[in-house]
Every structure is written in C-alpha cells, then in structure tokens.
Amino acid sequence: MSQLRFREAVRAAMIEEMERDERVYLIGEEVGHYQGAYKVSEGMLERFGERRVIDTPITESGFTGISIGAAIVGLRPIVEYMTWNFSAVAFDQILNNAAKLRQMSGGQLRVPIVFRAPNGSARQVGSQHSHAMEHFYAHIPGLKVLAPATPADAKGLLKAAIRDDDPVLFMESETLYGVKGEVPDDPDFLVPMGQAAIAREGRDVTIVAWSRMVHVALEAAAVLAREGVEAEVIDLRSLRPLDETTIVASVRKTHRAVIAYEGWPYGGVGAEIVDRIQRLAFDDLDAPVLRTSFLDVPMPYNARLEQLVVPQASRIVEQVRKVLYRA
C-alpha cells in the first residue's frame, strides 16, 4: 500500500500498463513536454519517450479518430482530453466510430481504447468548461463509462479499462486530483467494472453517487447522522455497466433513495437509476425517489451562483428529509 493522490494513482495505472504492454500509449494535448495540463502525466515523457507519450495539436476529433484507427488494427491507446468538455468536438468520432465499428463490421473489429479526462464542475470555469459529460456517453451502447471517487478505485479501474477490449470512457475530476488515499502496489490490482462499493453503511435511506459527489454525499450523511438518520452511501464507480444489484439490495433495506450527481436533471444517468429502482424495487419504496443534481441551467461564473447550481451537501440533506417525510 502507498499513500497516493488521485492524480498519482491515475499516473501509476498508466505507467504500469505501458510497462506491461508495448501496444499501450498515451496521446493528448500537453501530455508530454508540458507534463500534463493537470500534471497527471508528469514524468511520463521522460520515462517512455516521444513515441509513446504523444503531444498533439488542438485537434480533438483528429487525435480521437487516429487513436480509434490505431485501436482497430491492434494498438491500445489512452486518449487524454484536457477536460471532457473538449470531447464535444470529437463526439462524432466517439459516437459513430468508437461505439459503432464493432457492430457495423459484423464483429470483425474491436476497439480497445481508453478516453480519460477530468469531468464536471471545477471552480468558476464558466459554462463551457463545467459539463458533466458522462450522461451523454452512458446513453450509447458500445461504450463503457467509469467514474471513480477514490485513488485506489482510480488505479484499479483504469488498469481494468486499459486491459479491456471495448472503448472505455474514464471520468476524473479536477477537484479530486489532490485527494489522498491508500492504493495497492500490486501491479495486477484491478477493480472490476460494473461493481459499486458501499462507501458508508446505513439503514434509513440510500444515497447513490459517483465521482466527486460521493464525497459530498458522505458529508451529507455525517450531517444526517447527527439527526439520527443513518444514510447508506453507494459509490457507483461504474456507470455503464451499472451495478443495479447493489442499488436494489440497499433500497430493499432502506425503502428510500436519493441520487446525488453532477449533471442536469433532464434525463441522464440519475434518471436511469431512478427508473431501475422503481422497476426493480417498486414494492419496497416508501417514498418517490428524489434527485439532487445541477440546477437546470448552464453553469454561471459567479462563485455564489455556481455554488447554487452545483449540488451541495445541504441539498442532499434536504432531499433525504423529504423521502423520510421529515421536511
């Protein structure tokens, strides 16, 4: 075990997998000489050279397509976007090529590729740099979407993603990069995709969250504990595949659920989870399932307004009180 920051855990996963497999390489804007826009790839250029740590011009669609092309003929690229916001200009490549090539080739091709970047809100970066992009991508069959909350999960899941034969989108968070945690050193430590973790056990209400919001949900659970409410916090880790078994088992126990996430309320992963709960645990619900998400507006720059739009622990607590009929 080592104490690592989230960004170091991501880096450790990439280094271990690149050492293990010559076909794996890292490509993206500022990943090499600049040492990474968020210093995730710091030192990797020196370690692997320009052949395998590749700086690109500002061409998201271009280097995304190139990496998909390389993947269908046998390489295993890791594509870093400076943030997931910029993947929007590569959306066609992800939607129409990464997610489709296997099926439209009748299964002849596979696309072993990882796309990774920080996602969601940062601090006052405005409406174009604060998107929660997992909702767009989790909608698409052919893709897998991961969103870990801890350094250990970041390392174990990223390694699993790099070894996977399908396109995996890996959601990090600028505000999580400095978070520290115990991380196994075993080079074969993998976290399987599609398995949620119980971040906190409780009996009164289930709070489902992922990525940065797991930490906010734990904060809310601490507040609720002082009111005598024991919240169970589920850290999904993987959005597609989604671990509905763990969610349903928890709701069967608590009879109430709140989904807390970044992203807008219209549709999306949060709505998908609500659908599964009402279908699979209908008879165990004592209250409608509620959500705490972004407010339904573009992200404002003003700090106070930004805090209003981004889910805070207090908003999660409020929703929990409602499902407990205490509001």
Min CB(287)–another protein separation in Å: 6
Determine the distance from the C-alpha atom of residue 268 to the mean position of all C-alpha atoms in its chain, rounded to a whole number: 14
CB 161 within 8 A of CB 147: no
Specify whether the CB–CB gap between 167 and 99 falls below 8 A: yes
DSSP string, 245-264: HHHHHHHHHHS-EEEE-SS-
Tell me the helices (H) and strands (E) count for the chain, helix number first.
12, 14
Secondary structure of residue 242 in the 3-state scheme: coil
H or E segment to which residue 145 belongs: strand 144-147
In angstroms, the first-to-last Cα distance of the chain is 44
User: Residue for token digits 């126990």?
Assistant: 253
Least Cβ distance, residue 126 to another protein (angstroms): 24
Compute the least distance from the CB of residue 111 to another protein, in Å: 8
User: What's the CA gap between 286 and 323, in Å, rounded?
Assistant: 8
Residue 105, CA distances (Å) to 76, 96, 169, 223 in order: 19, 13, 22, 53
Q: Which residues bind another protein (CB under 8 A)?
A: 25, 51, 56-57, 59, 61-75, 92-93, 96-97, 101-110, 112, 141-144, 164-166, 193-194, 240-242, 255, 279-280, 282-287, 325
**Closest to another protein by CB, 230 or 284:** 284
Closest to another protein by CB, 39 or 163: 163
- Residue 208, SS3 per DSSP: strand
Largest Cα–Cα separation, the chain:
60
| Closer to another protein by Cβ: residue 123 or 279 | 279
Token pair 């020196």: residue: 46
Q: Say which residues have a Cβ less than 8 Å from residue 272's Cβ, sequence separation at least 6.
A: 138, 242
Out of 129, 139, 219, 244, pick the active-site residue.
Answer: 129
Find the shortest distance in angstroms from Cβ 229 to another protein: 13
Distance CA 41, CA 30 (A): 9
By C-beta, is 74 or 228 nearer to another protein? 74
Catalytic residue among 8, 29, 60, 172: 60
What is the rounded distance in angstroms from the CA atom of residue 178 to the CA atom of residue 174?
Answer: 8
* Smallest separation (angstroms) from another protein to the CB of 87: 14
Closer by beta carbon to another protein, 62 or else 300? 62
Going by their DSSP bridges, the two strands 257-260 and 290-292 should be labelled as parallel
Identify whether 46 is a catalytic site residue. Answer: no
CB of 285 to another protein, least distance (A): 5
Q: Which one, 183 or 248, has the nearer CB to another protein?
A: 248
Establish whether 174 is a catalytic residue: no
Residues serving a catalytic function are: 60, 129
